[in-house]
Amino acid sequence: MFSGQQIASLFLELGVTHVVTVPDSTVGEWGDVMETTPGLAVVRVCREGEAWGIAGGLYLGGSTPVVLIQCTGLFESGDALRNVAHDWHLPILSVIGYRSYLNQMALPGDTCLTFTEPVLDAWRLEFRLITDVSQLPEVRSFLRECRQAARPGVVLIAEGRA
């Protein structure tokens, strides 16, 4: 999928200031590039629920955070994102790795494919599923639209391995 440099450049273009993250095998590879990118600060958290509260505080404080986690972390962080996105109406952007979407034999019996999209629907989070590197412009336009409209938005990145 995308390189760390592509995502870091995109974040800078969108005015992102902080990336609040728990890594996985795909999105985690971007972390080192982001950490060395001037203008981007990386906040590594212990559990994904933390990420939403920290992003909420960053946003209220005038920064522009993105939450970068895997779909398993989405499942873990439901109450926190509910509070931030729906109680407080904070338009937090997120990029979420979709475990094994491109290689469904990687984890036989894994239920990430069963639950990820319904969970996003249940939390009423608008998302775009990205399955190919050619869709980078779609990522850019979707995140830009969400930012301009001050609404939360999720880019769901199909991953090819567990």
Partner 1 sequence: MRAPLELRDAVAVIRETRNPRDIVVPSMGSAREWMALGPTHELDLVLVPSAMGHATSFGLGLALAQPERRVIVLSGDGSLLMNLGTLVTIGSQAPPNLVVIVFVNGVYEVTGAQVTPAAAGRLAGAGSIDFRGIAKACGIRSVYGWSTLDEWRSGIEEALTACGPTVVILHVPVVPGAVGPRSPGPTSERAQRFMRALQRHEGA
Which residues form the interface with partner 1 (CB under 8 A)?
18, 20, 41, 43-47, 49-50, 52-63, 65, 79-80, 82-84, 87-90
Closest residue by Cα to residue 72 from 46, 48, 44, 45: 48
What is the smallest separation between the CB atom of 127 and partner 1, expressed in angstroms?
Answer: 21
**Min separation Cβ 63 and partner 1, Å:** 4
Q: In the complex with partner 1, which residue's Cβ is closer, 89 or 124?
A: 89
Strand order in the sheet with 18-21: 41-44, 18-21, 65-70, 93-98, 153-158, 127-130
CA distance 106 to 78: 26
Shortest approach of partner 1 to residue 156 CB, angstroms?
Answer: 22
Within a 10 A sphere around the Cβ of 94, how many other Cβ atoms?
A: 29
Contact (CB, 8 A) for 74 and 120: yes
Min dist CB 90 to partner 1, Å, is 7
* Shorter beta-carbon distance to partner 1: residue 79 or 110: 79
CA separation for the pair 2, 161 (Å, rounded): 14
Instruction: CB nearer to partner 1: give 60 or 162.
Output: 60
Nearer to partner 1, 47 or 161 (CB): 47
